[in-house]
Amino acid sequence: MAVLVSFDIDGTLEAGDPPGPVTMSMVRKAQAHGCIIGSSSDRPLPVQQAIWDRHRIEVSFISHKQGLPDLKSRFPAEEYYHIGDTELDQQFALEAGFHFLWMDAGYTEPWINGRTDGA
């Protein structure tokens, strides 16, 4: 079964404001590896969509951080990850039963390389 990876945007993705350490190339790699990917950010949904469109990445979901539990019911997966840069990201992720990863741990790409405890 697939692994779902939810990316925060600002402070997490290189396309964010401020830019974060997770590159769009890492996102593409996750997708190529079969991960279900998308964003869960405080940004309005159309703004999130525009960022993905600009980078020509077709995501499976765009959501708010409060929507993480819904993602779990919408997408059956083996593991769920949310990667972000704030304690709020961590809180929403853990409450929803996601693994939480700090943005600067993203380079380990645990959704590809196997589970690590980033919380």
**Coil, helix or strand for 5?**
strand
What is the spatial distance between Cα 95 and Cα 64, in angstroms, rounded to a whole number?
A: 14
Half-sphere exposure of residue 74: CA atoms within 13 angstroms, side-chain side: 13
10 is an interface residue for Mg ion by CB under 5 A: yes
Nearest distance, CB of residue 103 and Mg ion, angstroms: 8
Nearest distance, CB of residue 13 and Mg ion, angstroms: 9
Nearest distance, CB of residue 104 and Mg ion, angstroms: 12
Of 42 and 79, the one with the shorter C-beta distance to Mg ion is 42
79 is an interface residue for Mg ion by CB under 5 A: no
In angstroms, what CA-CA distances link 90 with 32, 33, 96? Answer: 26, 25, 10
Question: What residue ranges bind Mg ion (CB under 5 A)?
Answer: 8, 10-11, 85
